[in-house]
Amino acid sequence: MNSARQQFGDLERVIDEVHALFDHWENSGVFSPAFDADKVQLMKLAVHEWLANLVQHAHFGDRTPEIHMDVTPNGKRVRCVIVDNSDGFDLGTYLNERRGALPVLPERGMGLLMLDAATEYMNYHRDDDGCHRLEFSVSADEDPWLNIPF
């Protein structure tokens, strides 16, 4: 697989559909041998946390939700781009505020911090067409599990 572009519009089904896609890709051997099951799980976690945030918190106004996802395996690295037509938010400020106010063993509110910790690279911005784009990569050479805040 060079790249897989998927489109989703049903917020109630998007997470299940993406999990099924990752299971299919993993079972089909799409990811390189260097990208083992633990790294695939890490990638699924990162995508899941972003999509869960969109489902629970995103505002789409009167627009029909549109989410596009591109996943591109490249040897020891998998790159993911998720584009949506929500109103977006200031991810950098949110992450900084959460880090500064994180209670011990919180029950909720860890998803985006886990996404940040799980990724080798992450960028979130508004595109020229008004959509919001999250780009990140996960590397087979990194072990970010110790970076996830608890």
CB 67 within 8 A of CB 55: no
From the list 138, 2, 130, 137, the residue with the least C-alpha distance to 66 is 130
State the residue range of the domain holding 69. Answer: 4-147
DSSP codes joined into one string, 91-112: HHHHHHHHHHTPPSS-SSS-HH
Question: Domain with 70 in it: what CATH number?
Answer: 3.30.565.10
**pLDDT tens-digit readout, 114-127:** 888 888 899 999 99
Write out pLDDT tens, residues 31-78: 878 888 888 888 888 999 999 999 988 999 999 999 999 999 888 889
- pLDDT tens-digit map of 39-51: 888 888 899 999 9
Both structure tokens of 132? 């919001």
The CA angle 46-100-143, to the nearest 5 degrees, is 35
Q: What is the pTM of this model?
A: 0.86
Count of the separate structural domains present in the chain: 1
Residue with tokens 């946390």: 49
